[in-house]
Amino acid sequence: MNSESAVNSSEGKTVAVIGLGYVGLPLIVEFADKGFHGIGIDLDLNKVDSINRGVSYIPDVPTEDVERLVSAGRLCATTDFSRLAEADSIIICVPTPLRKTKEPDISHILASCEHIAKYLRKGMLIILESTTYPGTTDEVILPMFEAGGLKVGVDFFLAFSPERVDPGNSRFQTRNIPKIVGGVTPLCTAKAVELYSQAVENVHAASSARVAETAKLLENTYRSVNIALVNELAMMCRYLGIDVWEVIRAAATKPFGFQAFYPGPGIGGHCIPLDPYYLTWKARVSGYEAKFIGLAGEINSNMPDYVVTLVSDALNDEAKCVRGSRILVLGVAYKKNVSDVRESPALEIMSSLIAKGAQVRYSDPLVSCMKVNDESFKSVDLDVTELRAADCVLIVTNHDSFDYSLVGSESKLIVDTRNAMGNLSQCQAKLVRL
């Protein structure tokens, strides 16, 4: 579909997006930019007020884009779910966390669908983007909507299209990340494909919502098990006296049959630590135990403890114990160059070090403050004073903005979980790498 026909077909159409986080805000901005009237719905008043003032709180969404669309009357935000009645299409982008028992928590999806059911009318298209277990769209959402007497595929249309947002990725964003769409019926799929084709460059139609749901879980489970593999390799290579980073560089020279993954202090963000459990939970209740996926999750979950052991051993080699030592953590976001600390391994690492009696401080230019075990912490400047005062500098997140030459020249002891110091020709500190 060319851009001219996309704009024409969007005239007078309204898209409502429930949930205005890392997924929802970029999505609604993209639709509004293509000529749709976008209504964003979120319970967070700060987010709603920010959007209506034309200010973005998501780094990947420029404030000038939000300001332009709000000024043009094509984008607004509200906490009022009755505005759903104005929408031709509704897209659900709410969180799907895990309970402490590692079971799926789809309460946010259910709450959103309860609101939608009140305003559901003929011709409306509803799409779920929130990651969930296979069968959610067919088995849970559909009965809620058909309870009012309308028939799916005839009176209204329902589909699943998994989000694929990669925060901080300047190359791939909403418009050029291929979109998977799977409807409850073939016509539902066609309606959803038609909608997304007006805002996304490439749309792939799956045969069903279940296929689309499972494809999303496969993507992140694939990453989880491969990260677990190299994490185990890193631990094994330490016992064998082999540089795991050099091993990976060497293997990556193969132009086929190998994709490089890298070890780290643990996995974070809202996807990789959670999504495999959605898949294994569904398999378990269906009578199948996914042992391989479960083992990968166990290895990745244990990495923060392994990092704490590295720090303890490194301090011990310097005739120091963890208790009373001053430890400076570099980077607390779950990955480099983003400000998101959800499920970040830094939280567990800092919590364990504090429990062992360490004096923990952190420096992260993208995270000004945060809480660990209900204790508030503020980021400190990465300067000579901080580095010299630290008994150990622990690199957890390798932001590009860190001055690693300064870290190498002014620190006494460095535990590097990201190979951030690997490219430095000289490092005055004692260096311990994952």
Whole-angstrom Cα distance, residue 171 to residue 167?
11
Whole-angstrom Cα distance, residue 192 to residue 11?
17
Whole-angstrom Cα distance, residue 223 to residue 218?
9
Range 177-208 burial, b when 16+ CB lie within 10 A, else e: bebbbbbbbeebbebbbebbbbbbeebebbeb
Question: How many CA atoms within 13 Å lie on the side-chain side of 207?
Answer: 1
Whole-angstrom Cα distance, residue 322 to residue 304?
15
Range 60-71 burial, b when 16+ CB lie within 10 A, else e: bbeeebbbbbbe
220 CA to centre of own chain: 10
Looking at residue 156, what DSSP letter applies?
B
Give, in order, the Cα–Cα distances in Å from 135 to each of 20, 288, 347. 25, 16, 33
Q: Indicate the angle between helix axes 291-301 and 303-317, nearest 10 degrees.
A: 30
- Give the residues across from 377 on adjacent strands: 370
Whole-angstrom Cα distance, residue 169 to residue 264?
19
Whole-angstrom Cα distance, residue 44 to residue 59?
18
- Give the residues across from 76 on adjacent strands: 39
Q: Is 271 a catalytic residue?
A: yes
Indicate which residue of 93, 271, 369, 392 is catalytic: 271
Q: Write out the catalytic residue numbers.
A: 271
